[in-house]
Chain A
Amino acid sequence: MNLITPDTGLLFWMVVIFGLVFFLLWKFGFPVITDMVDKRNSTIEKSLKDAHEIEARMGQMVEEHARMLDEARKEQAQILRDATDTRNKILAEAKEQARAEADKILAEARTEIAAEKEAALRDVRKEVAVLSVSIAEKILQKELAKDQEQRDYIDRMVDETVREEAHS
Chain B
Amino acid sequence: MILAWLISLLLFASPAPAEPVQEESVDVAGIIFEHIGDEYEWHLLTWGDKHVVLHLPVIVHSSTGWHVFSSKRLEHGESYEGLKIDPEKGKIVEVDSGKRPFDISITKNVLALMMSSALLLLVILLTARWYRKHDVLNESPTGIAALMEPLVMMVHDMARENIGEEDYRRYSPFLCMAFLFILFNNFLGIMPFFPGGANLTGNIAITLVLALCTFFTVNLTGTKHYYKEIFNPDVPVFLKPIMPVIEVFSAFMKPVSLTIRLFANMLAGHIMILCMVCIIFIMAKYGAVLTGSMTVVSVLFGMFLDALECLVAFIQAYVFTMLSSIYIGLARAHGE
Contact = CB atoms under 8 A, between A and B. Distances in A.
Contact of B103 (A2, A5, A8): A8
B267 A39 contact: no
B53 interface: no
Nearest to A17: B117
Contact of B136 (A8, A18, A39): A39
A31 B104 CA distance: 33
A14 B263 CA distance: 15
A17 B116 CA distance: 10
A84 to B, nearest CB: 62
Interface string B121-134: 10011011001100
A17 to B, nearest CB: 5
Interface in B43-67: none
A141 B81 CA distance: 205
A39 B137 contact: yes
Nearest to A24: B121
Contacts of B208: 6, 11
A13 B104 contact: yes
Contact of A2 (B90, B172, B181, B210): B90
B38 interface: yes
A9 B173 contact: no
B137 A43 contact: yes
B152 A30 contact: yes
A26 B152 CA distance: 13
A30 B206 contact: no
Contacts, number: 126
A28 B128 contact: yes
A33 B102 contact: no
A68 interface: no
Nearest to B59: A9
A43 B137 CA distance: 7
A2 B128 contact: no
Interface stretch (B20-28, B105-113, B305-313): B105-113
A14 B109 CA distance: 10
A31 B149 CA distance: 12
Nearest to B181: A18
Contact of A6 (B104, B113, B152, B205): B205
Contacts of B267: 3
Nearest to B60: A9
B149 A33 contact: yes
Contacts of A20: 117
Nearest to A18: B209
Given A2-B89, A37-B149, A11 B131 contact: no
15 contacts: A13-B106, A14-B205, A17-B113, A22-B177, A25-B173, A29-B128, A29-B173, A30-B124, A30-B128, A30-B173, A32-B132, A36-B136, A37-B131, A38-B156, A40-B137
Interface of B: 33, 36-38, 89-91, 102-107, 109-110, 113-114, 117, 120-121, 124-125, 127-128, 131-132, 136-137, 145, 148-149, 152-153, 156, 169, 172-174, 176-177, 181, 203-206, 208-210, 213, 267
Interface of A: 2-15, 17-18, 20-22, 24-26, 28-34, 36-40, 43
The 3 closest A-B pairs by CB, nearest first: A6-B205, A32-B128, A29-B124
